[in-house]
Chains A and B, each alone.
Chain A
Amino acid sequence: MSDPRTSTSGDLVGRLVADLAPVRPVRSGRMVAIAVALEIAVVLVVAWLFGFHMARPERIFDPAFAGLLGALAAGAVASARTMTMLSVPGRPVSRALRAFVLALPPVLAVAMIVFSPWGGSFHGFAAVVVEGFGCTKNTLLVATPAWLAGLLFLRRLAPLDPLRVGLFSACAALLAAAVVVQMACPSCDSWHLAISHYVPLLVAAWVAAMLSPVVLSLRAPESRS
């Protein structure tokens, strides 16, 4: 298609009509399901490739631990839904859902420190960061491919607000990765979980959001039927 931007509005209509090809309309429900499945699949494959195994599997029967995993997984699904709906024009996403996703990491971090049933030892912020660097690194390692896969998938839709779409794409990937890393990490130290598992999610999500417009600006394949 030649650049219709240089044409008058009458020409533009003619050119758009001439360029018209059949397309398969999206179904947002199906797109959400695909997005969720994609995030889960990529996270699991990457975790498998890096040889992650569940540490102390008996913890899964601890209601607090299972609750944590459930909250992270629910956040990942909510974020995948949000990023997809934000990529379909005119499909609003509730403020509560967005707030839930964005508030989850800091709320979990604070809840861990204040209410943790497992206790923890704080011997300086820097020491906790250094000791927990492996978990932070693993989370980012697992999340990055899922974040990129999510963005590549969303390019097929209409992410008209790339910053926000990128933010929720990153949240979906990071929260899904956090589930895997939480299971693979043998520590339940409250400070370790708060500082090395949850706080980095928020920071990484914003950094990824800033980078997302670049990925989304790559030309997406046409969705022709």
Chain B
Amino acid sequence: MSDPTVAPEPSPAPTTPRVSKVSEAVIRIAGNSQDGIQAIGGFLARLAGRSEQEVMTFMTIPATISGGPSIFQVRIGSGEVLSAGDDADVLLCFYDHSYANHISSLKRGGIVLYDSDHVKPNEELLGSYHHVGVPISSLTVEAIGGTGRDKGKNIYALGLLARMFDLNVPKLTKLIEERFGGKDPTIVQNALACFNSGYGHQVQGLWETFQFQPGENAGHPQVVMSGNEALAYGLLAAGVRFGAGYPITPWSDIMELLRRELPKYGGTFVQTEDEIAAISMAIGASYGGRVAVTGSSGPGISLKTEALGWASMAEMPVVIIDVQRGGPSTGMPTNVEQSDLNIAINGGHGDSPRVVLAPASVEDCFYTAIEAVNIARKYSTPVILLTDQGIASRIEAFPTPDLEKVCQNLTPDFTPVMDHKPYDLATADGITRHIAPGTRVASGKYPVVTGLEHDELGHPTGSGKVHTQMNAKRRNKLKKLAEELPVPQVYGASEGHVLLVSWGSSKGPLEEAVKQARKHGEALSALHLKHLNPLPNGLEKIFSGFTHVVVVELNDEGLYGYGQLAAVLRARYCDPRIRSVTKTDGLTWKVKEILQRVLTLTK
């Protein structure tokens, strides 16, 4: 909101709050997950999207069934927003535990807006933060007619925030009506009563309110959604019409959406008995002629690896989504981690090449899903799409895609052929092409697909020579893909002291770190890798412009001191400049954390 290094000195409150123009704000809402704090964050994010502002959110959710402490952080900016923000400008807290656990995430001099029915502020902190108490719970009860229940206090608090940030009330009202408008009209009436009451409340002791400068994205209609939603819609746009899965957090959102949406497109999603059946069924449907999808998180991916090996061997296209979470085993189911890269690239027995892609943002989830489907088809290969909890549940606004242009029709081709050898070793591009069952072969010689090593028609062979040739075939087609991949662009100068390398959801925080560091004269740049297996060609040229190459990733440094991507890059380039900073605290990177760690490492 303001320069973080300059904290405004608390001063006696004037009667009329002054209005400050801001280009961005970080609002952290802390409470319990059952209080609907995600809903407040969601409203703010969608309002920003409709106001052509950039927005990014970050949330934590308890892994327990009945809820528990939870936060939702929203960063709204009139310009580029790269991360959910390190420190909050405003902290809204509902309970003592929310206050105690999150007051340190507030900028010095920031505003803590608390429910004075439940929170008793710490006297020692009164001078460091601007404390504003509102009896939110009791005022909510009053607003909706005194039923004795405070359900709706989230919407009341939204009203308070709307006043504080001079938010667009008609737009917010419309959002509330859209969300709560349903069969029972009292629900939306109550919600609006709460909102209006909060908005109209004369807050005591507030000496500053804010106004956002107009967004820079004017004229570009935006959509607002989570990464999981964007990914699922991307699969639909790509033309996927069959999927199978088993529930597991945080993948379940994707399968729920596909189950709901696919019938509209003439497709089917099957909830299977287990993870193995899910991938097997998806591969079966792919064999039926149209790339199918399955997905999971951590433990479920382990279960799928045998069938994944079959898809690699039989060269059957299939898209496998892995919404990574903290591992190993059941691990930290609702926390972010990027520790499945090794299993994505190498998981399974034998040499089983496959493609691994990782989207960087919510918008990227949409387009990467389409790319994954197209690579799977074109190269007849399994493709793993590695997303993470950091993007899966994050809400962002992004320009509405040109759907007429990006949507694809993948109706299978059953035109009869004279003769067909799927695993032809003599083709120019070295890529396997299957014909789906239902395709007549005039010669009467039909191919089979198998997990046994096979000859060009798919029939089993024990020949070591053929095994060598087929291993090379499965490997070389991915080398060919590597040639076709775009070389990633460096963010910042192409030469300097340190090149930060990111993958997955860390892209934004890294680029913001570069921006901040360059302001302070540090020669930092960033490179984001989306294609992780195969890697694009030409990275060594980029690395050569820097004294240090530091991979910033959310996993453990391992036995030998390198994160999972750093280890792959070191093996690939034999370059001792490549090192990593890693962490596994279950949270996304903060910009200051990256800078501290990287600058210490490269001093």
Q: Do A and B come together as binding partners?
A: no
